[in-house]
Amino acid sequence: MKNAIYAQSGGVTSVINASAYGVISKLNELAPRTRIYAAQNGILGMIDNKIYDLSRTQKPLELLLESPAGMFGSCRFKLPEIDDTDFYEKLFKILDKKSIRYFFYNGGNDSADTCLKVSLAAKKFNYDLCAVAIPKTIDNDLVLTDNCPGFGSVAKYVATSVKEAALDLKSMCKTSTNTFVIEVMGRHAGWIAASAELANSIETTYVHKILLPEVRLDEEKFLTGVENDISEHGFCVVVASEGLKDKKGNFYSESAVADSFGHKQLGGVAPKIAELIKRELSVKYHWAVSDYLQRSARHLTSGTDMKQAIAVGKVAVEFALNGLSGVMPVIKRISNDPYRWEVGEGALSEIANREKKVPVEYISNSGFGVRPEGKQYLLPLIQGECFPKFADGLPIYDQLDLHLA
C-alpha cells in the first residue's frame, strides 16, 4: 500500500485549503485505496509524528473550499542539509510506519527548498517517496509559474481596500486628512503593492503613489510628487511595500527579529513614510497596515485564484502517481484576452530559493506606478467572485474534525 501525506507551509492564504481539497479529491478519485494523512503544522508535524488521519474525518471535505488560512496548521522551518543522516533517517522511519510514499508540500520559496531537500534525501537514503511541491504565496514571487495561487485574492483585496479608502479620503480632504499611506506585504517583490494600480481607471485616479521594493526611494522626488497630487486632486493615497528600500538599497524599515531562514521581520514602512510627509509637507495624514487582513480575506477571494489553487493540487497528485519527484505544478498563461491558462511542470531545483520580481517593463517611468502592460498581467488574476457561505451576517468558516493517527 502506498499512502500519502499533505502539509501546509509558510504564510497562509484565502485559498491554500482549496489546494488541499484538490489533492485529497484527486487522490480519492485516482487512488481510492490510498490512505491520506495531513501533517499538523507543516513539516514539523512530520518530524514530531503529529499527523492527522483524514480517513477518520466525518465532516465534508468541501469545507476546505470555504475556509481561509491553513486548516491543518502551517510553519516556517528550515530543514538541515541532506547529509544529516540522523535527521532524515528518523523522518523516513516515521513516514515508513504509515507506508507514506507520496508527499505534497504546499508553500512558497522556502517550502520549495524543503520539498526539494526531502526529495533529494529520499533518493540518497533509498526511501521510496515522491515529493511534490504545490505553489502558494501571496507574494507572487515563485519563478517558472506565471502567477501563484493566493496572490490573485490578495490583489483583489488590496485594490478594493485602497479604492474604498480613497473615496473616504476624497470626501474629507477639504477640512481633514488629505494623505493616506497603507503598507502591504512583499519583501523583495512588489507584486502586492503593484496590484493597487488596478484600482485606477482612465477616468479616476484612486492611488497616486506606489512604492515598490524594486525601486529605491528617492525621498525628494517622492515628496514633490505627493505635493503635486494634493495640489491637483486634493488628496494623495500612497501604497507602500514592506520591502521598500532606501537610496542605498537598505530596507527602509526592518526589525532585528529573523525567522529560521534568516529573513528579517519587516514592517513599519507606513508610519515612517507618513511621518516623512508630515515633517516635510506639514499635511494631516493617516496610515494603516493591511498585514494579516490581506492574507486570508476569504470574503473577497478571486474566482480565478480559487480555480487555480484547486487545479495545482490535482495536478500535483497526477505528478506523484506518475512517479515524479522534486517537481511543482506551475501555471502557464496561454492568452490574456480571453484569459486562458494551463498547468505545467517545473523542477524544484530551478524554483527553490529564487525570486520573481516585478519586471522593469511593468513599472512606470516615474517609478511610482504600474504601466498598462502590468495591469494587463494583473487584471485576469482578480476576476470572478467566490463568496463563502454566510450565517447571521458573517462567513461561517466551519472547520474539519481532525484526529491524530
Three-state DSSP at 182 gives strand
Phi and psi at 176, nearest 5°, equal -135, -145
Left if phi > 0, otherwise alpha if psi is -120 to 50, otherwise beta: which for 236?
Answer: beta
Three-state DSSP at 52 gives strand
Active site residues: 139
Containing 264, the helix (H) or strand (E) segment is strand 264-266
Cell 495591469 found at: 375
Cell 484569459 found at: 339
Question: Over the Cα atoms of the chain, what is R_g?
Answer: 22
Q: How far apart (Å, rounded) are the C-alpha atoms in residues 204 and 195?
A: 16
The cell numbers describing 45, all together, are 508535524
> C-alpha angle 324/325/331, rounded to 5°?
75
In this structure, the number of other CB atoms found within 10 A of the CB of residue 279 comes to 9
The cell numbers describing 282, all together, are 506639514
The cell numbers describing 360, all together, are 522593469
